[in-house]
Structure 1
Amino acid sequence: MDILRSLRSVSEASGTGVVDWDRAGAAAKASTDPGSLALTAGEREGYAADVRDARARLGEVAGLAFDVPDAIEVQNRHHWIDASVGTFQNVMAPIEAAATGQTGAGSGPGGLGGPGSPVGAFSRDVSRIANTGTMAFALGFLARNVLGQYDPLLLADEPDADHGLYFVHPNIVAVAASLDVDYPRFRRWIAFHEVTHAAEFGAAPWLPEYLESRVERGVEGLTAGELTIGGLDSEAFGELQAAMTAVEGYAEMLMDRAFDDEYADLRRKLDERRGAGGPIRQLAQRLLGLGMKRRQYERGAAFFRHVADARGIEAAGVVWDRSENLPTMAEIDDPEAWLTRVDP
């Protein structure tokens, strides 16, 4: 880990975009210990068995037909950064395009602060460096904390590319040790959770396009002259939030019924760990919306537990039949309204 090298990478940010993504990735890796990937043969088989068992068990319990991605990778932290820079770039691309368009506004090529003036050029360079540093910080923080990830490759350049399933091995080992829990059991729990996401997207082939369209619609208002919160499409972002709450909540409910061991202690200890840490960690979690994600788990899980208890677990899976079956934010807090509307 080399903080000076990370800062140097950020300070050398260049190009015409709002973020220098190559420098952001390099800076994130420079400030992050990659961790060891020295897996034993037993550990490699353990990951494979966990994913295989999760797929069989989840399919049996949920009544869903799905495949796990061909791309299943056990990664170190640098591998995760390399795999995630492109995802961040794709998600940010519409906002970058809008921001770049707005920088063209001003007092003309030679005017003070105009795009062709020294002041305007300096301002853009400083902004690019700041944005690159922000993204490097986010990538580095997440790389040190992500345990597993199902990647549906939203907004990917190749929409038919295989989805990914990643496990960040050094983080899984380190967190299991810090929580004083059995490492193979903890690894298996992470595998089950990520495979539940594969089950959702496998059962709902329309879901990636639905999420992509809400992201794209959500930033359509960010045109030159409208780069404000008021320019955002609140309806699209509301639908996106409701869909992601359903994704997280269904996974939590399904884990309750499918994981082959009690895991309340794992959840409690992991939540306590997330609530601990110094002020920098707490600030990073707030800025990255990790507290909001936890609330998504809780609200969504409560919705699906109510549905499953009332009509059975297969009725809860009806939400993935078509986009019209997704609950609204109001229905997430009033599952009986969803049951009346959809009648699974």
Structure 2
Amino acid sequence: MTAPSTALVDWSTAAQIARRVARPGPVATRGELDDLVGSLRTAAHDAVPHVLRVTRMRPATGADVERDHHPDGRLRRVRVPRPDLGDVRVVDRATWALANTRSMAAMTAPALAVLGKDASSAGSGAARLAGAAEVGGLLALLSSKVLGQFDPYGEGRPALLLVAPNVLAAEQALRLDRRDFHLWVCLHEQTHALQFAAAPWLADHLAGRLGTLLQDVTTTSMGLAHAPWRDKAALVGRTVLDAVRGELTTPLDQVLGAEQKRVLAEITAVMALLEGHADVMMDAVGRRVVPSVRTIRSRFEKRRDGEGAPRFDAVLRRVLGMDAKLAQYRDGARFVRAVEERAGRDALNAVWAAPEHLPSAREIHDARAWVRRVHG
């Protein structure tokens, strides 16, 4: 007899739903697609030395891009293999959604195992299919909005995923220089790759905090699963109403208790650091590397703000938590710039030394407090 699954979601079905629902993206010829894929791969490769230079960070293990060599006492500069920051995969929307279901399954499995029988009971039959429909639909929606993603939790090695149709749609809609835009996107994502390579404890730390939150939220969700229909409807109604009013910070707000919100705030502060740091560094390479960087940033910020988007899209952004994600970019960028202005880039890089050096939810809004705590 097969043991009952401890998963609350049928991940295989979720991936199939996302694949079927996700829109394919802009139409392009085979030649145009080949050029797009080649350009993105080249940009991902070229971004690495620029990221190393501007961040002043190095992977915890592996070779540097270049170093001094002293044969027979003579000084010369030699090239050595560049650091391995993970694989680069240029994917379509459906493949991005599939990769995310695999990562989500890997990240949730340890937490759900702790829940034991309750998880097995709640994760069977119709409940698992309902979860698959929800996750699959959500990933299908998000799959059209993500340009790139560094995934430290996928199968095998960490990987940088570049979503080709979304990059193509953005460069066309914003009328951007292809070479510059591709490199700009890859500078952001390779900075993420370097963050996890420089702090090899980071992936496990985040997974652990997310696991703690997941256990609590799953327990709450199990209670909601057995709640009267009117209670579920009321929760959905309050969520949508808050989104329309612009008052919803995250879709989880309606189901989190005080302790759960504290853990979420801690995770959010770390995510703000990661996103803000990558945003600052991608622009810091300057116009010598990305000549149209100012134009790209200006037009991309308007896109992020939803300029010209229909009202429904604005509501959808809030329900999906995308506005909260945008706040992370900006809060994190302000923190990074404030630390650098006060103590310098090398002092900022102490944040990658240990989990206790990460900024708290309060410190992400008060860089001086972080500098005082970490550097005295």
- Tell me whether the two structures share a fold, i.e. TM-score over 0.5: yes
Letter in 1 for 2:323: G
Deviation at 1:129, TM superposition (A): 4.7
Matched, 1:248 2:275: yes
Equivalent residue number for residue 151 of structure 1: 151
Secondary structure in 2 matching 1:221: helix
Aligned mates of 2:117, 2:185 — CA distance in 1: 39
Tell me if the contact between 1:219 and 1:232 (Cα under 8 Å) persists in the aligned partners.
no
Equivalent residue number for residue 139 of structure 1: 139
Uncovered stretches (5+) of structure 2, i.e. residues with no partner: 60-82, 224-254
Secondary structure in 2 matching 1:229: coil
Letter in 2 for 1:20: D
Letter in 1 for 2:269: A
Equivalent residue number for residue 57 of structure 2: 64
Question: What does 1:92-111 correspond to in 2, within 5 Å?
Answer: 92-93=108-109, 94=111, 101=118
Counterpart pick for 2:345 among 305, 313, 329: 313
Equivalent residue number for residue 277 of structure 1: 309
Secondary structure in 2 matching 1:74: strand
CA 219–77 in structure 1, closer or farther in 2 if over 3 Å, else same = closer
- Over the aligned positions, Cα root-mean-square deviation in angstroms equals 3.1
CA 335–233 in structure 1, closer or farther in 2 if over 3 Å, else same = same
Letter in 1 for 2:257: G
Deviation at 1:79, TM superposition (A): 1.7
Equivalent residue number for residue 83 of structure 1: 99
Secondary structure in 2 matching 1:254: helix
Letter in 2 for 1:292: A
Tell me if the contact between 1:147 and 1:171 (Cα under 8 Å) persists in the aligned partners.
yes
Equivalent residue number for residue 158 of structure 2: 163
Deviation at 1:239, TM superposition (A): 2.1
CA deviation map 1:267-289 (0-9, x unaligned): 33233334143344333322221
Aligned mates of 1:212, 1:185 — CA distance in 2: 34
Secondary structure in 1 matching 2:160: strand
CA deviation map 1:23-79 (0-9, x unaligned): 222122112243568356654543333223211011112211133434211111122
Aligned mates of 2:45, 2:317 — CA distance in 1: 32
Secondary structure in 1 matching 2:257: helix
Aligned mates of 2:9, 2:215 — CA distance in 1: 20
Secondary structure in 1 matching 2:162: strand
Tell me if the contact between 1:204 and 1:321 (Cα under 8 Å) persists in the aligned partners.
yes
Tell me if the contact between 1:68 and 1:199 (Cα under 8 Å) persists in the aligned partners.
no
Secondary structure in 1 matching 2:100: helix
Letter in 2 for 1:288: L
Letter in 2 for 1:219: L
Matched, 1:192 2:224: no
Equivalent residue number for residue 30 of structure 2: 38
CA deviation map 1:217-244 (0-9, x unaligned): 2233357588463386444323212211
Secondary structure in 2 matching 1:327: coil
Equivalent residue number for residue 329 of structure 1: 361
Letter in 2 for 1:27: I
Tell me if the contact between 1:64 and 1:317 (Cα under 8 Å) persists in the aligned partners.
yes
CA 17–308 in structure 1, closer or farther in 2 if over 3 Å, else same = closer
Aligned mates of 1:171, 1:271 — CA distance in 2: 16
**Identical counterparts, % of pairs:** 29
Counterpart pick for 1:48 among 36, 41, 48: 41
Aligned mates of 1:325, 1:217 — CA distance in 2: 20
* TM-score normalised to structure 1 length: 0.78
Aligned mates of 2:172, 2:54 — CA distance in 1: 31
Equivalent residue number for residue 72 of structure 2: none
* TM-score normalised to structure 2 length: 0.72
Uncovered stretches (5+) of structure 1, i.e. residues with no partner: 1-14, 106-114, 116-120
Letter in 2 for 1:181: L
Secondary structure in 2 matching 1:167: strand
Aligned mates of 2:6, 2:354 — CA distance in 1: 41
